[in-house]
């Protein structure tokens, strides 16, 4: 089953764009989740630090 070079190039470009977009979405979601986690950890540490020194 022969495939034209143009079809392969177009498919490759589409695959590249999809991969880049998925990586971007994953990075943004990971950053958001990491920020939420670290805010909770920082708040926990600040609450316990203040409570222990009083």
**Tens digit of each residue's pLDDT (9 = 90 or more) over 26-43:** 999 999 999 999 999 988
Residue with tokens 């990491």: 34
Going by C-alpha positions, the residue among 14, 43, 18 that lies closest to residue 51 is 43
Using DSSP, how many helices (H) and how many strands (E) does the chain show?
1, 0
Split at pLDDT 50, 70, 90, the class of 23 is very high
If you average pLDDT over residues 20-26, what whole number do you get? 98
Portion of the chain with pLDDT greater than 90, in percent: 59
* Token pair recorded at residue 53: 């020194």
Q: What are phi and psi of 53, to 5 degrees?
A: -90, -10
Q: What are phi and psi of 52, to 5 degrees?
A: -75, -25
């Amino acid at each position: 089953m022969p495939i034209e070079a143009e079809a392969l190039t177009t498919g490759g470009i589409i695959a590249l764009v999809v991969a880049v977009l998925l990586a971007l979405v994953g990075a943004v979601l990971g950053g958001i989740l990491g920020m939420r986690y670290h805010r909770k950890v920082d708040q926990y540490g600040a609450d316990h630090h203040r409570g222990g020194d009083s």
